[in-house]
Copies of this chain bind each other. A is one copy, B any other.
Amino acid sequence: MTTPPARLAVAATLDTKGPAVRVVLDELRRRGCPALVVDTGTGAPRAVVPDIAARQVERIGLDALGAEPGTGRGRLAAMGAGLAALVDESRRAGSIGGLMAIGGGTGAGICSAALRRAPVGFPRMLVSTGVTDDVSALVGVGDVHLVQPVVDFHGGGELLEVVLRRAAAAMAAVVSLPYRPAGDRPQVGVTSFGVTEAAVERVVAGLEQRGFGVCVFHARGSGGRAMEAMVDQGALAAVVDLTTTELTDEVAGGARSAGPHRLEAALRAGIPCVLAPGALDVVNFGPPDSVPEALADRPTVRHSPTTTLVRARAADGEAVAEDIAAKVAAAAHPERVRVVVPARGFSALDAPGQPFHDPAADAAFTERLRRVLPGGVPVRVVDAHLADGAFAAALLAEFDAVARLAGLAPPTAGTPPTATTAATATTEGTKGSEAT
């Protein structure tokens, strides 16, 4: 399953990180991994001669930004844009198989656009003293390997050498693996949450039976953003967005919103899109003391020491319905959009006898949605709970309908594409009782 070694792009400000890059190159060489060194520094390179000079990176960046040569911060922005454009182009041309960025705070900032813009699945690593902060601002939602060197680049030393050699060894191994080991079935995005798990399992099993690949995204803010990013990158052929709970957090001030643009990517791309109000009854907060005073009288569940769930109100559901309708109204292909609502409860907590069971609040969402959703987009209400087989069956039936409309069919329905996939356990994992 190994392929000829792909060339790894190594990006750093060589005026300050040249000695670190030299250690990395030495380890890559020992492992037979060819490298392309890109300088993003503002001073003369030290210890290493770059393959792509900083001047060249800056020029590409200025072109990309349509800007004039500048100094200071303008120069850093040009360098960042230049690196991103260069990595993008080299990746498309197949001349690099991965990106390893090395930097302190400033260096990581320069590499940030390149790390964020590369599509999910493209091997990437960031080695930076900035990795102890909230890293999503630096690397987005992508599958980046992150390494915190603990000791500063400044000063070198044995421990830094160990850290750098390990990072280089790890990336040499990563780029030696093929990019898509399991063929190219069309991939369908599915959103999940612990309280929507039963529906997710049925839908995943159904999609795999149909011959689709499935990417499941945990709808905790980062998951929804990751799915949107993968849709934008063209990596998903359709979505069954059955756990839209992040929309509730957005309107009700919860902690797990995916931002105001959640839901837009699939509608903009015009790919088949089946929506459901999974976990719309739940607003997520952190530890109990993070729940706003104003919500103290609502039904509340302590899910874990760091997660407290609060029941959304009818007004929240109505606001989410308005939000969904406005976004659907801008869809490129409204005929490929379907909404399916489980009349007997939106999550495991919203089942009869459970703390969030509130049919009136659920109905407020459904009624408002029916009223405001653009004509031609059907709202199918199923007389079942989200966890019931009938609801999952309805989602899959609607998926089949929009997939047919869009001409989307898996190449080899019913059979996984390669023996490799069948031999691994990931496929089986979808049939069992995994908790989220």
Q: In the bound complex, do residue B132 and residue A164 qualify as a contact, i.e. CB atoms below 8 Å apart? A: no
Q: How many residues of A contact B (CB 8 A)?
A: 107
With known contacts A170-B170, A222-B132, A213–B145 Cβ distance under 8 A? no
Q: Among A19-27, A52-60, A292-300, A319-327, which stretch is in contact with chain B?
A: A19-27
Q: Among A175-183, A329-337, A339-347, A362-370, which stretch is in contact with chain B?
A: A175-183
With known contacts A23-B424, A143-B147, A213-B157, A152–B223 Cβ distance under 8 A? yes
Q: Can you list, as one digit per residue, whether each of A136-180 has a CB less than 8 Å from chain B (1) or not (0)?
A: 100001111111111111111111111111110111111011011
Q: Which residues of B contact A429 (CB under 8 A)?
A: 18-20, 46-47, 153-156
Q: Tell me if A434 counts as interface (CB < 8 A to partner B).
A: yes
Q: In the bound complex, do residue A204 and residue B434 qualify as a contact, i.e. CB atoms below 8 Å apart? A: no
Expressed in whole angstroms, the Cα–Cα distance for A108 and B142 within the complex equals 19
Q: Tell me if A308 counts as interface (CB < 8 A to partner B).
A: no
Q: Which residues of B contact A435 (CB under 8 A)?
A: 15-16, 104, 106, 154
With known contacts A162-B181, A425-B18, A425-B47, A152–B104 Cβ distance under 8 A? no
Q: Tell me if A314 counts as interface (CB < 8 A to partner B).
A: no
Q: In the bound complex, do residue B177 and residue A165 qualify as a contact, i.e. CB atoms below 8 Å apart? A: yes
Expressed in whole angstroms, the Cα–Cα distance for A166 and B1 within the complex equals 13
Q: How far is the CB of A186 from the nearest CB of chain B, in Å?
A: 11
Which 4 residue pairs across A and B have the least CB separation, nearest first?
A155-B216, A19-B429, A156-B426, A170-B170
List 16 contacting pairs A-B, 8 Å CB cutoff, sorted by A: A18-B429, A19-B434, A129-B220, A131-B135, A133-B136, A142-B148, A143-B147, A145-B167, A150-B226, A151-B226, A154-B429, A155-B429, A157-B187, A157-B426, A159-B213, A165-B177
